[in-house]
Structure 1
């Protein structure tokens, strides 16, 4: 089988840095709910949902965590999106979260199908709280690779935008396909786990409106190294792509952002 092991792609030290993020401040907090989904067999997908104020319908941002991580590790960023009016949901993937009973980094190749399943179940479970016409996908590290899969070989046509934090393509890249969707890459210049060259390689294959935010002094966790910049930039990206907010588009940073937006 021509599949390189993700264990060789992600250094253990870099992945262990995906541990708990600081708790959001009370002003940025959003109430959370837990859902239990299962795609069959051993593919249990417990999912946390950060709920914005109001009954909606709200845009949905589906988030994929990195290896040896979990959604709560990104709580500060995800709660900030929820506080801005977005419903945010993230599962624990069955074989790549930090407490997985049978950890298998190569299982990332199965996660795009998990993501599509969870999105479908969320639409059923949350009903009118979610706007099915405004769905986006985001992820960090292996979760960003999962997100790339949702826009390429495992294309989910429901997605209107995508965010990859420290992301690259899978070892056997498939072309980006389906309806055009703006995508944003956020990359630390000092990341040794997913290098800038790998991130740029994926970015250069995107045929749609796209942006690349380079944060020179950040490592594999740019959302932890520069939390205010990443939160502000990504929130405005969502406001533009999911809400049609042109003022938010104009607020995207001029320094460090290469884009065709």
Structure 2
């Protein structure tokens, strides 16, 4: 299935390009139980295009997050969206034997996408030869942000508090982590029992990353308040930045889709800020000397009625 269309205008400086998208592109995944389905979106024109591999939140799929995927593609990125096993489109029962390992399979999905760039590039007519494989970023929302963070160097602590396996990927040069959950010390008893992998260690997350958190994001998984979602920045290394959205809840204004059931804080202006700041951050991180990030940061600082606050280490 190939789709074409213009991304929404007025969300960033510059004229958005037409976006071309194809789905599903199938990557063979022996041992996964299901081959991996991926959506590929790209601007219809331009070359040397940087790549974003995006990991969706729980229950979502490659079909979600149009406000982000369409915007990034319209502004010069190739966006690759795999469908993870927890997607509602696959309807895996809770008793499926893969369920306890889905958090790891998610990370393997992202690596598999990077391994499959040849197949994904060839699947979208006209995309061949237009990727810049030296400029690759990962991004994710909620559980997807945890999946993406592993490729940036974040680890999971074992029962003794020792950082586990390093699953970082040297091909990834930058990341955007949207509503990424905080430290495992602050889990509710239910979360601690059912989600033992939610014990992150951010000290080794050395790849440049932008963390985006909402100051009204109250998680049922944490005993703390919305500041829990700032932990990846607070406990992360130098080079990490934090965008805190005023009034933002877990959907950050509707990044997964304005009409998605989980969007409890719909706000197109808030989403537009996320679009602008994430695009600018990735440009700045992937292209040394690019001024997009410093310009966007200065604009937010000078805004008399800002929708968020930016901090950087």
Instruction: Report the TM-score, using the length of structure 1 for normalisation.
Output: 0.81
Counterpart residue number, 2:251: 221
CA offsets, 1:208-229, max 9 Å, x none?
4111111120111115131111
Matches within 5 A, 1:238-249: 238-244=282-288, 246-249=290-293
1:212 is the counterpart of 2:234: no
C-alpha separation between the residues in 1 aligned to 2:169 and 2:245?
Answer: 29
Q: What is the distance in 2 between the residues matched to 1:230 and 1:98?
A: 26
Q: Distance in 1 between matches of 2:30 and 2:208?
A: 32
**CA RMSD for the aligned pairs?**
2.4
Q: Greater helix percent: which structure? A: 1
Q: Which runs of 5+ in 1 are unaligned?
A: 1-22
Secondary structure at the counterpart of residue 161 of structure 1: strand
Alignment partner, residue 117 of structure 2: 122
The structure whose RCO (Cα within 8 Å, separation 6+) is larger is: 1
What is the CA deviation profile of residues 6-38 of structure 1, one whole-angstrom value per residue up to 9, with x for unaligned ones? xxxxxxxxxxxxxxxxx9437665110121113
Aligned residues: 236
**1:232 and 2:276 correspond:** yes
Partner Cα separation in structure 2 for residue 103 and residue 209 of structure 1: 40
Contact (CA 8 Å) 2:18, 2:74: kept in 1 or not?
A: yes
* Moved >4 Å (runs of 4+): 26-29, 103-106
- Does structure 1 residue 182 correspond to structure 2 residue 171? no
2-structure distance, mates of 1:247, 1:173:
32
Shift of 1:124: 4.9
Structure 2 length as normaliser, TM-score? 0.69
Report if aligned partners of 1:123, 1:132 keep a CA contact under 8 Å in 2. Answer: no
1:112 to 97, 100, 107: 107
State whether structure 2 residue 87 is matched by structure 1 residue 97.
yes
Structure number with larger C-alpha Rg: 2
Residue aligning to 2:28 = 38
